[in-house]
Amino acid sequence: GYSDSMNCRPISKHESITLQGFKHACHAMLYARSEEKLFRRIPVRYAVLMQMRFDGRIGFPGGFVDLQDCSLEDGLNRELYEEVGCTLRLSDADHMCSHVTDTPQKLVTHFYTKELSLAELHQVEAGAVSAKEHGLEVMHKYAIAMGLIRVPLFTLRDGVGGLPAFFATNFIGNARDELVDALRHLRLINEERLASLPCAGTSPQ
Ligand SMILES: O=c1[nH]cnc2c1ncn2[C@H]1C[C@H](O)[C@@H](COP(=O)(O)OP(=O)(O)O)O1
């Protein structure tokens, strides 16, 4: 998978903060149970938020955290506020996994997940457009549509549209592996379907 090819390995949060010379970044997957149906027939099941970044890659909201300055969670919450205007507070209890890599840079990525009500998730989506960094880190350079997106968890009848097509897009860092881990761990889609999806492939760079 992508992680292997990028020499990226799991690490405990505790161990990671003892590393010297590594940057830290925290990102979060906000999601909500949804009874909504696409085209009145395809159950959406969960609304899972990711974002289209300024570089045309898909990732989770979040960013670099300077541990000299604040804790991982305080840094994450600040990033979530600046990027998507989200005032919810994530805590250590929402931490799912951390990974360390030294290519292309010495970096530890910390990944958090938080279930919201659908109403709360709607508020995040609606608030995102007035967030400080919306449309900045986003559009000035490559002029592509950017902002929060929802991950389609369904597969259309052609067998490609929906999640398979989504997985074939371009992800930043180990974001695709984080998504797959979260879908599996939180049981948002069943294991059999996950295994049938082209998510083990290497992400194009
Ligand atoms: O969703 C992600 N999952 C894992 N790693 C990610 C994700 N998004 C970005 N990254 C990597 C890429 C960068 O090396 C760092 C920080 O990126 P970014 O979120 O763009 O940071 P700033 O907003 O500039 O603080 O993490």
Residue-level pLDDT at 135: 63
pLDDT at 128: 84
Q: Which helix (H) or strand (E) holds 100?
A: strand 95-101
List ligand 1's pocket residues with C-beta within 6 A: 25, 27, 59-60, 62-64, 107, 109, 172-175, 178
**CA 69 / ligand 1 centre spacing (Å):** 18
| pLDDT score of 145 | 56
Of 172, 177, 180, 203, the one to substitute when testing ligand 1's pocket (max ligand atoms within 8 A of C-beta) is 172
All residues at 6 or more sequence positions from 174 whose CB lies less than 8 Å from its CB, including other chains: 2, 3, 6, 8, 99, 101, 109
CA–centroid distance, 115 to ligand 1, in Å, is 21
CA of 175 to the centre of ligand 1 (A): 9
Model pTM? 0.91
Q: Dihedral sign, CA of 189, 192, 198, 201?
A: positive
Could you read off the pLDDT tens digit of each residue along the chain, which spans 205 residues? Answer: 444 445 899 999 999 999 999 999 999 999 999 999 999 999 999 999 999 888 889 999 999 999 999 999 999 999 999 888 889 999 999 999 999 999 889 999 999 999 999 999 999 998 888 777 766 654 444 444 578 999 999 999 999 999 999 999 999 999 999 999 999 999 999 888 888 887 644 444 3
Q: Which domains does the chain have, with CATH numbers?
A: 7-152 (3.90.79.10)
Cα distances (Å, whole numbers) of residue 108 to 6, 47, 99, 186: 13, 27, 6, 22
Helix/strand/coil for 149:
strand
Q: Provide the residue type at 146 as one letter.
A: M
Strands (DSSP E) along 39-94, which ranges?
42-52, 58-59, 62-65
